[in-house]
Structure 1
Amino acid sequence: MRKTLLLTMDFPPEIGGVANYWGNLLLNLPEDKVVVLAPENDNSLDFDVKQKYVVYRRRLLTTSSRVWPRWWPYLWQVYRLCRVESPEQIIVGQVLPGGTIAWLMKKILNIPYILSFHGLDISMAQMTKRRKKWFRFLVNSASKIIVNSDFTKQKLILVMGTVKAPIEIVYPCASILPLNEYSDLILNDFVDRYSVKNKKIILSVGRLVERKGFDQMIRVVSNIRRKMPFIHYFIVGRGPDKNRLESIVVHHNAEKYVTILSDVSDDELPYFYKLADLFVMLPRELADGDVEGFGIVFLEANLFHLPVLAGNSGGVPEAVENNVSGVLVDSSDIMQIQQAAESLLKNDENRRLMGDLGFERAQRLYNWPAQAKRLEAFLG
C-alpha cells in the first residue's frame, strides 16, 4: 500500500459516524503507511499515544475575521506535512474545504487525492451554484473515490452525471459490541431503576436529530400501548432535537413508558441492547437533503441478536435486509410502522429468528478487517 495522508475534521476521540469510520479502518491498515492530520481535541493526546500510526493535531481553522479563507491554517499545515512525510496520496474526509486543499497539493506537489463521501456531504455541496460548480471540479480532479454505501455512490453519480474516477464502497461497521460477560447486578439495577420487569423493551440509539425519526416511534408506541401495556420505549442519544422529542412525550402523556437518556456511556450501552426485545430507528430524508447514508446502529443491534424495525430511506436497505435481519417500513406511514411493530412484538419466535439471521449477516458482511482489506487493495 502506498503511503497515505488522511485529512479529516472528524477523528477519534471525537464521537460521530465519520470519526468512528476512519478510527476503525486505520486500526486495520499497515501502520507505517498511514499518517493522519486532524483538529486538536481536549482528549486527543490520550487517544493518539495508543495508536501505532502517526497522528498530527493542529488548529486547522482560524477564528480571526482578518484571515480569509478560514482554512488558510489548514492549507499551510497540509503543505508542511506533505514536505515532512512525503505521502504518495491524500485521502480527503470532507470535500469542503479538504478537497480544495488536496487539489492545491496536487498542483503544487503532484500528489493525487482521493475523496471520501458519506451522503450528507454531497447534498451540502449542492446548496449554492458556486459550491456546486467547485464540487464538480474537485470530483472530476480526484484520482479515486470512496463511499460508505451504494446509495451514496448512486447519489454522487446522479449529481455528477458521470464520474471518471473509480469508486469503491467501504462500508462502516459496528463499534458497540456484545460483552463476553454481563453483570447480573447491573442488569437487575437497570430493570429496577426503570421498572421494566416482565416488559417488552423497544430500543432506539442514535443522535437526536429530526432525520432519525424518533418522533414517529413515540407516537406509534403511544398507540400500541393501548393494546399492549407491557412495553417500554428507550431512546438513547444526545442531540439538538431532545427538547422537541421530550415535548412530544409529554403531549402523549407517555412519560411512564417512554424514556429519553442522554448520559449513557459506551460501557453501559451493551446492557440496553442485551435487555431489549426490538430495535427501532425510522430515518427519513429531509427537505435539505439530510439523509441516512447507511445505518451502523442496525448492524450493532443485529450483533446483539436483535431484530430491527427500520425506515426505508437512504442507504438503510443495505444495512437491513427486509424480512431477514429486520423489517423495512415507510417512515412517514404511522399505520404501517404500528402494524409492523405490533407483529414483531407479538411473535417471539419470529423476533428470535430475525435476530439470529441478522447476527450471522452482520458478522459475515460487515466487519472492520474485511472492509479495511477492501480499502487497502483499492488504495494500492
Structure 2
Amino acid sequence: MRIAFIVGQFPVLSETFILNQIIGVIDRGHEVDIYADHLINTLKVHPDVENYRLLERTYQLTQIPNNLIWRVIKGLGLLLVNFHKSPRFLLESLNVSQHGLQAASLWLMYSAISLMHKQAYDIIHCQFGTQGYRGMFFKNVLHSQPKLIVMFRGHDISRYVQEHGDRVYDEIFKSGDFFLANCEFFRQRVIQLGGNPERVAVHRSGLDCSKFKFIPRQLNADGIIRIATTGRLVEKKGIEYAIRAVAQQAQVYPQLEYQIIGDGILKEHLQTIIQALNAESFIKLVGWKREQEIIEILEQSHLFIAPSITAQDGNQDAPINVLKEAMAMGLPVISTYHGGIPELVEDGVSGFLVPESNAEALAEKLGYLIEHPERWSEMGQAGRAYVEQHYDIHRLNDKLVQLYQQLLETDNLAVRSQPALMEPSHP
C-alpha cells in the first residue's frame, strides 16, 4: 500500500504518537509520504526521523490563503509557473462542472500543486481533524480515489470546534471513509458533531513499552523525593497548579525536587510564579529534552504529575503520551478528571485523579504519596500493566494496517461489523 500522512507540522518532538504510526506502517512494508503545513527546522529531532530518513519523504503543502483576492492572485502565479509540468492534472483541478465550489475556490488547484508527479495513493490519513479538508481535496483531485481516514486527537475536536462552530466538519464527515479518535471521550464528541457512529472507532495512541524500563519505585537513602512533569508550557497542561501544589508540600516536606520538562509560551509566567513562591531551589523548568533525556530524568524520579485542565479556548487533552510513558516506567501518577485521561489512569489504583485547576487537591494527593512510599511499587505495577495491555504500539499499528486493508476491500466499513477495530473505554 501507498499511504499519504497529512500533518500540521513535521517533525515535532512532542508528537511521537504520529511518528510511531508512520514508522510502524513503514516497518510493515508499506510506502509512506508525509505532507506538512509547516516543516520545522530544528537541531533536536527524534532519532527515528533520522534513522528512517523521513525528511526525504516529507513535502510542504502549498499554503492556501484565506483571503479570496490574495488566493486568486497567488493561485494565478502558481498556475503560470507549474502549468507546463502537468497541464491536464491542473486543468482537471479547475473543472467547476465536476468539482463545484472546491474547484471554483481554487482549493483543489492548490492541493494539485502539492501532488504533481506523485504516484497514486491507496490511503490518505489525516492526523488531525484540522487536516481533514486538505485530505478531502487530495482524495477528490487524485484519479486513484484513495480512501480517506481522519483522526481526531485533542485541540481539533475541542478548541477548533469552539472557534469555528459545531458544523465545521460536516463536509469531511460526508467525504471521509472512516474516522478515528484517540479515546472514547473524543469518539463521542465526533459522533455528537455528526460523525456516523458506525464509521467512528477508537484507535489509541500507543508507545513502545520496551523503550521504557519498568523500575519499582522506593524511597532513596538520601530521603529526597523527585517529582517530574513533561509537557508543553501552555494553559491546558495546568502546570501552574502543580507548581503551587509542590511548593505547598515543600513547606512540610522540604526534601522535594520537581523538574518540569518542556517549553512554551507560559515559560516566563511559570518562572515568575516559582520565584514568587520562593521555590527556585527545588522547582526547575528544564526545557525541551530528547526522548532518551526524558527517560533518564524519569528513571531518577519517584512521582509524576500531569495536571491537565480545559483551557479558556476549550482546548482539551486525550490520554496524554507523557502519562503513558511515566506509567510504563513504574511511576505513580497524579492527574485530573479531564478529557480522556480517566480512560488511562484508574483513581486509587495506578495513581490519583483530582478535579481540574485545583492546587489544593493536587497537594493533598501528593502529600499522601509522600507519606506512603510503600504504595509506590504497587501503583507503578498497575500502571505498567494497563499501558502494556491497552497502549502497545505494535498491536495498535497492526490494527491500523488491518483497517487500511479492510477499507480497500469494502466500500462501507462499519464499526459494528468490525468489532476488533474498537478499543474499550476505561472501566
TM-score where L is the length of structure 1: 0.84
Q: How many Å separate the matches in 1 of 2:381 and 2:390? A: 14
Partner residue, 1:184: none
SS of structure 2 residue aligned to 1:268: helix
Partner residue, 1:36: 33
Partner residue, 1:163: 196
Q: How many Å separate the matches in 1 of 2:223 and 2:347? A: 29
Query: Shift of residue 221 of structure 1?
Result: 1.5
- Residues 147/63 of structure 1: CA separation in 2 closer, same or farther (3 Å cut): closer
Q: How many Å separate the matches in 2 of 1:334 and 1:249? A: 14
Query: Shift of residue 57 of structure 1?
Result: 2.6
Partner residue, 2:14: 16
Equivalent residue for 2:129, pick from 95, 105, 108 = 95
Aligned residue pair count:
358
- Residues 377/290 of structure 1: CA separation in 2 closer, same or farther (3 Å cut): same
Query: Shift of residue 125 of structure 1?
Result: 3.7
Q: Which amino acid aligns with 2:74?
A: V
Q: How many Å separate the matches in 2 of 1:335 and 1:297? A: 23
Partner residue, 1:57: 58
Q: Are residues 1:137 and 2:171 paired? A: yes
Q: How many Å separate the matches in 2 of 1:63 and 1:137? A: 18
Partner residue, 1:115: 150
Query: Shift of residue 308 of structure 1?
Result: 0.3
SS of structure 1 residue aligned to 2:196: coil
Query: Shift of residue 153 of structure 1?
Result: 0.7
Q: Alpha carbon RMSD of aligned pairs, Å?
A: 3.1
- Residues 169/41 of structure 1: CA separation in 2 closer, same or farther (3 Å cut): same
Q: How many Å separate the matches in 2 of 1:210 and 1:163? A: 32
Does the 8 Å contact 1:34/1:53 carry over to 2? Answer: no
- Residues 73/201 of structure 1: CA separation in 2 closer, same or farther (3 Å cut): farther
> Which residues in structure 2 correspond to 1:172-251 (within 5 Å)?
172-174=205-207, 177-178=211-212, 197-251=222-276
Q: Are residues 1:337 and 2:346 paired? A: no
- Residues 134/313 of structure 1: CA separation in 2 closer, same or farther (3 Å cut): closer
Query: Shift of residue 165 of structure 1?
Result: 5.5
Does the 8 Å contact 1:61/1:70 carry over to 2? Answer: no
Q: How many Å separate the matches in 1 of 2:186 and 2:126? A: 16
SS of structure 2 residue aligned to 1:198: coil
- Residues 73/343 of structure 1: CA separation in 2 closer, same or farther (3 Å cut): farther
SS of structure 2 residue aligned to 1:363: helix
Query: Shift of residue 369 of structure 1?
Result: 0.3
- Residues 41/73 of structure 1: CA separation in 2 closer, same or farther (3 Å cut): farther
Q: How many Å separate the matches in 1 of 2:232 and 2:213? A: 23
Q: Which amino acid aligns with 1:121?
A: D
Q: How many Å separate the matches in 1 of 2:119 and 2:347? A: 46
Q: How many Å separate the matches in 1 of 2:328 and 2:169? A: 37
Does the 8 Å contact 2:180/2:203 carry over to 1? Answer: yes
Q: Which amino acid aligns with 1:51?
A: Y
Q: Which amino acid aligns with 1:297?
A: V
Q: How many Å separate the matches in 2 of 1:164 and 1:70? A: 32
Query: Shift of residue 132 of structure 1?
Result: 4.7
**Greater displacement, 137-146 / 245-254:** 137-146
Q: Which amino acid aligns with 2:6?
A: L
SS of structure 2 residue aligned to 1:235: strand
- Residues 136/352 of structure 1: CA separation in 2 closer, same or farther (3 Å cut): same
Partner residue, 2:4: 5
- Residues 54/337 of structure 1: CA separation in 2 closer, same or farther (3 Å cut): closer
> Which residues in structure 2 correspond to 1:72-91 (within 5 Å)?
75-80=111-116, 84-91=118-125
- Residues 173/105 of structure 1: CA separation in 2 closer, same or farther (3 Å cut): closer
Which structure has the larger Rg over C-alpha atoms? 2
TM-score where L is the length of structure 2: 0.75
Q: How many Å separate the matches in 2 of 1:115 and 1:178? A: 29
Unaligned runs of 5+ in 2: 76-104, 406-427
- Residues 99/87 of structure 1: CA separation in 2 closer, same or farther (3 Å cut): same
Query: Shift of residue 283 of structure 1?
Result: 0.3
- Residues 299/246 of structure 1: CA separation in 2 closer, same or farther (3 Å cut): same
Q: Which amino acid aligns with 1:50?
A: N
Q: Which amino acid aligns with 2:112?
A: W
Partner residue, 1:278: 303
Query: Shift of residue 200 of structure 1?
Result: 0.8
* Per-residue deviation, residues 216-267 of structure 1 (Å, max 9, x unmatched): 1111112112211121211111111111100111111111121111153333
* Per-residue deviation, residues 153-199 of structure 1 (Å, max 9, x unmatched): 11212222x52651222211236933699xxxxxxxxx9xxxx9531
Q: How many Å separate the matches in 2 of 1:90 and 1:221? A: 45
